[in-house]
Each structure stands twice: as structure tokens, then as C-alpha cells.
Amino acid sequence: MFLKKNTFKFLLLTVILSVVLSACGTAAAPAAPAAPAAPAAFGQASCAPNCTYKDMVMCYPQLGAESDWRTANTASFKDQAAKDGFQLVFSDAQQKQENQISAVRACIQQGVSVIALPPVVEDGWDAVLTEAKNAGIPVIIVDRSVSADPSLYVSHIGSDMKLEGERAAEEFNKKFPNGAKILELSGTTGSGAAVGRAEGFRAKLNKNIEIIDSQTGNFTRAEAVPVMQAFLQKYKPGTDFQGIFIHNDDMGLGAIEALKAAGVKPGDLFIVSVDGTRGGFQAMIDGWFQADVECNPLLGPQVAEMALKLMNGQPIDKNVLTNETVYYPDKAAELLPSRKY
């Protein structure tokens, strides 16, 4: 009986032990966990790291065709697409933000690889940029800036508009050490280009130089003509004002039309413009512009290169500024033949 009882206990213990051990065994040797995959960089495509331009569909919802700068910018993207062999989904928003937003939405729907966005104005992009981000499509802001949170786009490639304004101001400071009164013909209201140029200009302009009036010509030649005409109704050139800061060459050419019609001669006023288009160079040769602050529209190559890096999951810079200078009449004739826009 004693033995039997002990045998029973022994057997029971063996069963319990074997159950416990087998449970421990399972716990001690779990299935090997899958090696943690490196998190894909935002915007990385399934072809990474071997994507080529053939895999790329780039959306370029252009803001308009308001100036020679813009025409050159559009050509730069189209030429680059043809050269590299990527597909460019191009549209022209005719300077209307709602058109640009619709174009961006269409590109999200289409599932493009990347959206390069030249925003017509700074504000009002948060919603659509969030939609692109949620869809996993990277957005590169091109040319003008946006006020949206930088986490909503991957990079900005373009000019330092504030620096351009500062450079223009320096020309007036040099010309008028004893002060002057000037006018400003500004770009599209609320656009990064106009906001930055106006800000930089005011920050650098000597206190003895007064901006007596500032009106927008919306960056177009056609709209600048009546604005200049209205200025000339109110202020006498040479007496009431000695110079004009003009936010782009196209508006400068419109202003020249109005000045000519009013009998103003080249050199009567000190005029500084921005862009450095062929038209601007010709205006320097003809004596109308005394300086032209460069703004380079040829951004296609840089943007394409960055887009391919994004697709391949490679790191990119958050802010890429275009290297620019100031042009003067003395070199204008020599440089004009080599100007690309």
C-alpha cells in the first residue's frame, strides 16, 4: 500500500514535471522573430533602391503663365522630363489657388510618385498638403514658399526672395545716400515672392529713403500698365519720386510703356527690377533699368534629381536655395546673347 501510494505520487510528480517542462520548453524556444525591417523613408517607391526616371510620374501643377520667368520655369520642367524620360503631369492654374488645389487633388487620386508644387500664394495649403501626406505622396515646394507647417512637405527648392529684396534696397541706398522718395510696384498679393521681396527691401532700405506708395501689378505686364498710369496721375516723376522698385521684369516692361507714353525718358528715374529675363536685360541696355536682381527659374534639373532620391529612399535637404546675383547695365549687352530666359 505504502509502495503503491508512493508510486502513485511519483507518477503524478512525473506527469506534472513533464507538463511544466514542456511548457517551459515552448517558452524557452520561441519561433525566431522576423528581423526588424528598416522603416521605408517617406516617399520611397516600391522600386527602391533601383528606381530610375522611367519609374517616375511627377506632378507639376504650375501656378500660371504670368511672366517670362514662369514661361522659362515651365520649359525647364518640360525639357527635364523629356531629357530624363520621366512622365510629367502638367497643368496651368492661371494664377488661381483653387485651380492649383484641384490639380494637386487630381494628382493624389492618380497616385503620382511625387508632387512638385509652385504655390501661387503662401497661405491655405494645409488641407491639401495633409491629404498628400496621408496618401504617402511627397510634396516638394518649388519657387515660392508656403506658410504651412514644414512637416507637411519634404523640401523647398527656390530663391531667397527676402535676399532679393535686400539686394534691390542696397542699389537704392548706393544711388541715394542723401535720401529719396520712391514707388513700389509689387507682385501678386500674398505670394511668397512679393511678401519676401517687400520684407527684405524694407529691412535693408536706408531710413532716409521713403516708399511713398506701393501697389500690386500681379507680376504681369498687362496689369502693371494701369498701375503705373495711376501712379503718374498722382505723382510727378523726378519731383515727387526719384525711383521705382519693381518686383519683376514683366511689370517693369509694362511700367516702361506707361512711362514712355507720359514722356519720361530712360534714366530720368532710378529703376530696379527682379528676375534677369532677356526683357530685363534689354531694358538695361536701353537705359530704363539701372539694376536687375537675378531670380533663376531653371529649377527642373534640381527638382527631378531630388524626386528620384526620394523614390529611392535617399536623404534630401529640407531647404535648397538658388545661388543668384545682381546684373547691371554695363555688362547687359555682353551677357544678353547667353541668357537662357
| 289/267 Cα distance (integer angstroms) | 8
Residue 55 near ligand GYE by CB under 6 A: no
C-alpha cell at 129: 498638403
Residue type, 96: K
Residue 274 near ligand GYE by CB under 6 A: yes
Residue 270 near ligand GYE by CB under 6 A: no
Helix (H, G, I), strand (E, B) or coil at 60: strand
Instruction: Give, rounded to a whole angstrom, the gap between the first and last alpha carbons of the chain.
Output: 110
Residue 155 Cβ, how far from ligand GYE at the closest point, in Å? 17
Residue 162 near ligand GYE by CB under 6 A: no
Residue 67 near ligand GYE by CB under 6 A: yes
Residue 144 near ligand GYE by CB under 6 A: yes
Query: Please, which residues bridge with residue 319 across strands?
Result: 156
Residue 46 Cβ, how far from ligand GYE at the closest point, in Å? 34
Residue 62 near ligand GYE by CB under 6 A: no
Q: Which residues of 35-60 are buried (b: 16+ CB within 10 A; e: fewer)?
A: eeeeeebebbbeebeebebebbbbbb
- String marking each residue 79-98 x if it binds ligand GYE according to CB under 6 A: --------------------
Verify cis geometry, omega within 30 degrees of 0, for the bond prior to 33: no
- String marking each residue 197-226 x if it binds ligand GYE according to CB under 6 A: ----------------------x-------
Residue 52 Cβ, how far from ligand GYE at the closest point, in Å? 30
Longest CA–CA span in the chain (Å) reads: 133
Residue 66 near ligand GYE by CB under 6 A: yes
Are 228 and 201 contacting, i.e. CB atoms less than 8 angstroms apart? no
Residue 188 Cβ, how far from ligand GYE at the closest point, in Å? 7
Select from 122, 143, 213, 292 the one that contacts ligand GYE (CB under 6 A): 143
| 266/264 Cα distance (integer angstroms) | 7
Residue 123 Cβ, how far from ligand GYE at the closest point, in Å? 15
Name the burial class of residue 29, with classes exposed (0-12), middle (13-18) and buried (19+) by CB atoms within 10 angstroms of its CB. Answer: exposed
Select from 100, 155, 242, 248 the one that contacts ligand GYE (CB under 6 A): 248
Residue 156 near ligand GYE by CB under 6 A: no
Task: Give DSSP secondary structure letters for 222-249.
Answer: HHHHHHHHHHHHHS-BTTTBSEEEESSH
| 246/271 Cα distance (integer angstroms) | 7
Residue 218 Cβ, how far from ligand GYE at the closest point, in Å? 9
Between 59 and 274, CB nearer to ligand GYE: 274
Q: Which has the closest alpha carbon to 230: 259, 190, 201?
A: 259
Residue 45 Cβ, how far from ligand GYE at the closest point, in Å? 29
Please identify, among the stretches 64-72, 254-262, 263-271, 323-331, the one whose residues bind ligand GYE according to the rule CB under 6 A.
64-72
Between 133 and 167, CB nearer to ligand GYE: 167
Residue 145 near ligand GYE by CB under 6 A: no
Q: Which has the closest alpha carbon to 81: 114, 119, 128?
A: 114
Between 6 and 325, CB nearer to ligand GYE: 325
Name the burial class of residue 61, with classes exposed (0-12), middle (13-18) and buried (19+) by CB atoms within 10 angstroms of its CB. Answer: buried
Between 138 and 252, CB nearer to ligand GYE: 252
Site residues (CB under 6 A) for ligand GYE, limited to 286-305 = 295
Q: Note the residues at the interface with ligand GYE (CB under 6 A).
A: 66-67, 69-70, 143-144, 159, 193, 219, 248, 250, 274-275, 295
